[in-house]
């Protein structure tokens, strides 16, 4: 693993040649040996070619182990296998073991890049490969230690910078290749920007007709968590068209909740328990639903008190952390208008007690935005 690049570079020595003004070429490390595929060069090429079977076989074997064998051995809890092959993936977090293969592929390409005919091609290939590696590292964060991920990103960016600055000292300039490369990169950038704009526009049009979630359940977890989960289960039993999202399903990034409400939800259902209006994230979801004109319904608990003028005026004192929503462009005025907006919503009152005799189960099904069936 440590000497993979150096071993490959040594074996590829017969294939790296310098072209001389007289039209002949010689091996870089051995100027007296001509790159003509005869005599000494032929012998060196054969030895190098056969020697390449070793690192390439190691790459193939490592790929087979990581991609095909490892998942099966993990299901079987084969600790002996894990200890035997630990040198391949011990550095990476669980789920990112495939990066051991990517590192070997990267090192293989690093060794083969000097075989490209022009300096422009070598520099471009090196930068593209390192940029791809940095992108994958930033996206997957494969190393076990967070500091190792940052170090890998820093070293990758530093190498790209050094290679780019190193081109200032290259005397060999292939103007045509450089021109083609620049034009290609410019066209690729233009196509990528236009493609992203087109994708966003198509997604916007599709989102107007087909929302990702049919229902979004806004609730206070302590008071209505079980009801929200039961409601979701009953709704989704009705079919795929009843996709339901409970706002505690994804707590990794709470800012996504506002996006789900505003862009991906057809019907926003508020489970009106007594404390729901004192939860800043719930109120933020309500503000988002009002601002984006999402169809909303209110399912009130018996102890739910609708916000009156006195409650609204003293709201910021009763819920001081509501000001944290300012970083999401939700102002105090937005909150006050939303509290008044709640009083205009269609509402259903929950019974004070639900038991097996009175109601074996209950669910909400909306045939249309204004047609509510409560069973």
String of DSSP letters for 189-250: HHHHHHHHHHHHHHHHHHHHHS-SEEEEEE--HHHHHHHHHHHHHHHHTT-GGG-EEETTS-
Band of residue 161 on the pLDDT scale cut at 50, 70, 90: very high
CB atoms within 10 A of CB 123: 19
Nearest to 263 by CA among 217, 215, 204, 219: 204
Length of the chain: 375
Band of residue 180 on the pLDDT scale cut at 50, 70, 90: confident
Residue 216 and residue 247 in contact, taking contact as beta carbons nearer than 8 Å: yes
CA distance 375 to 362: 5
**Is residue 222 pLDDT above 50, yes or no?**
yes
Q: Which of 22-36, 46-60, 120-134, 214-228 has the lowest mean pLDDT?
A: 22-36
pLDDT digits (tens, 9 = 90+) for 319-364: 888 888 888 888 989 999 999 999 998 888 877 765 544 443 444 4
CA distance 238 to 128: 50
What is residue 231's predicted lDDT score, i.e. its pLDDT?
83
What is residue 61's predicted lDDT score, i.e. its pLDDT?
94
Q: What is the rounded average pLDDT of the residues 162-176?
A: 80
Give this prediction's pTM.
0.61
String of DSSP letters for 283-329: HHHHHHHHHTT-EEEEEE-TT-----HHHHHTHHHHSGGGGGGGGGT
pLDDT digits (tens, 9 = 90+) for 48-97: 999 999 999 999 999 999 999 999 988 888 888 888 888 888 889 888 88
**Is residue 110 pLDDT above 60, yes or no?**
yes
What is residue 354's predicted lDDT score, i.e. its pLDDT?
59
What is residue 358's predicted lDDT score, i.e. its pLDDT?
40
What is residue 247's predicted lDDT score, i.e. its pLDDT?
72
What is residue 355's predicted lDDT score, i.e. its pLDDT?
53
What is residue 194's predicted lDDT score, i.e. its pLDDT?
94
Residue with tokens 């390449």: 52
What is residue 323's predicted lDDT score, i.e. its pLDDT?
87
Band of residue 187 on the pLDDT scale cut at 50, 70, 90: very high
Band of residue 365 on the pLDDT scale cut at 50, 70, 90: very low
What is residue 252's predicted lDDT score, i.e. its pLDDT?
65
Domain positions in the chain are 1-105, 212-374
**Is residue 185 pLDDT above 90, yes or no?**
no
**Is residue 368 pLDDT above 70, yes or no?**
no
Q: Which two tokens stand for residue 31?
A: 């100027």
Phi, psi of 254 (to 5 degrees): -65, -25
| Dihedral in degrees, nearest 10, Cα atoms 43, 48, 51, 56 | -150
What is residue 257's predicted lDDT score, i.e. its pLDDT?
83
Q: Kindly report the average pLDDT of the chain as a whole number.
A: 84
In three-state secondary structure terms, 91 is: coil
**Is residue 153 pLDDT above 50, yes or no?**
yes
Q: What is the rounded average pLDDT of the residues 238-243?
A: 76
What is residue 369's predicted lDDT score, i.e. its pLDDT?
43
**Cα 328 to chain centroid, rounded:** 22
**Is residue 240 pLDDT above 80, yes or no?**
no
- The CA-CA-CA angle for residues 256, 261, 265, to 5°, reads 125
What is residue 158's predicted lDDT score, i.e. its pLDDT?
94
Band of residue 367 on the pLDDT scale cut at 50, 70, 90: very low
Residue 282 and residue 258 in contact, taking contact as beta carbons nearer than 8 Å: no
Query: Helix crossing, 146-166 with 119-140: angle to 10°?
Result: 160
- β-pairing verdict for 295-300 and 265-272: parallel
Q: What is the rounded average pLDDT of the residues 112-117?
A: 85
CATH of domain 212-374: 3.40.50.10140
Band of residue 251 on the pLDDT scale cut at 50, 70, 90: low
């Amino acid at each position: 693993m440590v000497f993979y690049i150096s071993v490959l570079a040594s074996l590829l020595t017969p294939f790296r040649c310098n072209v001389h003004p007289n039209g002949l070429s010689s091996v870089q490390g051995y100027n007296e040996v001509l790159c003509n595929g005869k005599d000494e060069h032929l012998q060196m090429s054969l030895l190098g070619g056969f020697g390449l079977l070793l690192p390439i076989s190691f790459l193939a074997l490592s790929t087979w182990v990581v991609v095909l064998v490892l998942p099966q051995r993990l299901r079987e809890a084969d600790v002996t296998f894990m200890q035997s092959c630990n040198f391949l993936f011990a550095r990476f977090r669980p789920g990112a073991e495939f990066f051991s293969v990517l590192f070997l592929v990267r090192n293989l390409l690093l060794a083969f890049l000097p075989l490209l005919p022009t300096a422009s091609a070598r520099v471009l290939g090196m930068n593209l490969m390192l940029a791809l590696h940095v992108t994958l590292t930033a996206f997957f964060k494969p190393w076990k230690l967070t500091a190792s991920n940052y170090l890998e990103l820093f070293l990758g960016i530093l190498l790209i910078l050094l290679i780019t600055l190193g081109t200032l000292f290259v005397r060999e300039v292939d103007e045509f290749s450089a021109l083609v490369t620049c034009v290609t990169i410019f066209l690729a950038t233009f196509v990528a920007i236009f493609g992203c704009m087109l994708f966003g526009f198509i997604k916007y049009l599709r989102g107007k007709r087909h929302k990702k979630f049919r229902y979004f359940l806004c609730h206070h977890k302590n008071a209505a968590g079980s009801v929200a989960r039961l409601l979701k289960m009953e709704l989704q039993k009705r079919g795929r068209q009843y996709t339901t999202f409970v706002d505690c399903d994804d707590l990794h990034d709470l800012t996504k909740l506002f996006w789900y409400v505003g862009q991906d939800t057809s019907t926003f259902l508020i489970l009106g328990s007594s404390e729901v209006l004192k939860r800043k994230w719930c109120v933020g979801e309500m503000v988002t639903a009002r601002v984006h004109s999402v169809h909303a319904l209110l399912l009130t608990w018996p102890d739910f008190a609708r916000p009156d003028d006195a409650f609204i005026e003293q709201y910021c004192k009763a819920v001081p952390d509501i000001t944290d929503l300012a970083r999401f462009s939700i102002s105090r005025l937005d909150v006050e208008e939303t509290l008044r907006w709640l009083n205009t919503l269609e509402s259903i009152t929950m019974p004070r007690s639900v038991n097996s005799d009175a109601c074996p189960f209950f669910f909400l099904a909306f045939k249309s935005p204004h047609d509510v069936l409560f069973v």
